[in-house]
Amino acid sequence: MNISFAIFEQAAQLWFSEWLPAIFNPQKRIFWGYLLSSLVLAFLWLRLVKKTNLRSSARQIFDKQVWISRSALADYKVMLINTILMLLLSPRLLAKATVAYLVFDSMHLVFDGRPFFVTVLPQWTIAFSFTLCLFLMDDFARYWLHRWLHKVPILWSFHKVHHSATVLNPFTVFRTHPVEAVLFSIRSALVQGVVTALFFFFFGNQVTLMMVLGASIFTFAFNLLGSNLRHSPVSIRYWKPLECILMSPAQHHIHHSTAEKHIDKNFGVALSVWDWMFGSLFLSKAEEQLSFGLNGEQSREHHSLKGLYIGPIHEAVVEFMRFLSRLTFSIYPKHSA
């Protein structure tokens, strides 16, 4: 009984210290303003485009099969557990400040002082360039890491945790294995550290980030315009030429689809232009019915904590042993035969 109370107490403390503040933090995707804007967009789409009445729209958005299904309950558990794990791991992970310092220091070996011409640029030009460059490089890096998570068998062992969701809700975004969370944390530190160091080297104290309510203007716009609908029961499509640039919620639903033609498509996060450039773009279609999950290998185990945390580690070890076996055979073909 004491152990159960201790667990409940820790969960309550976590809620009040981490998740409750996140709801009021515009830098977080689950900020109440972003959730509200997504709700409004969902209703407008269903009412004006799909011609669904108000009651049917509400029933689709708040469907209990979405919010309290086994898949959704697994999302919530992983979200809470990963928060605890990342709080423990964060101090030991690569920090953006460390990367920025190393890059900034190394730049002095390449350049003798800062180029004089860049210091005369208007302040707003530097701020906009820094904000835009940070957004583009961050999104570009997320595209490639996401693509590798699908293409490299060992990495897919961990990323499949996210794709094991059979229904999508805004909290599915947190359904990731801790190994994947660490990889994205390192990616973020590298990209933001390098870009920040380069801009501060060339522009010094003129570098500022253009923000709205403490969030980058591009991140704020992305979240305000329905980022939470990427994992939701409402599949909003964009005008097709626009879907070649921006990733619509419907396109991300395609990414989660079990259909063979949708496998390894739409890796982009905010922008779909990377998919267009590298041949993984798939445009959405009207009235297309999709099913989500792991094609051909879905089981109840994928919604259990053992399946979500221990299973991927076992699969990754198996894949690593296969890799070593293939490597050994390629080096010593006669001895391996």
In angstroms, the Cα distances linking 297 to 162, 293, 300 are 14, 9, 10
Task: Evaluate whether 254 touches 273 at the Cβ level (below 8 Å).
Answer: no
Q: Which of 151, 187, 194, 177 is nearest to 280 (CA)?
A: 151
Between CA 226 and CA 183 the distance in angstroms is 25
- Check residue 1 and give its pLDDT: 44
Helix (H) or strand (E) holding 215: strand 215-216
Residue 240, both tokens: 């097709």
- Check residue 165 and give its pLDDT: 94
Statement: residue 332 has pLDDT above 70? no
Q: Read off the pLDDT band of 179 (50, 70, 90).
A: very high
Kindly report the pTM of this predicted structure. Answer: 0.87
Residue 165, both tokens: 């969701």
Helix, strand, or coil here: 332? coil
Q: Read off the pLDDT band of 335 (50, 70, 90).
A: low
Percent of the chain scored above 70 by pLDDT? 88
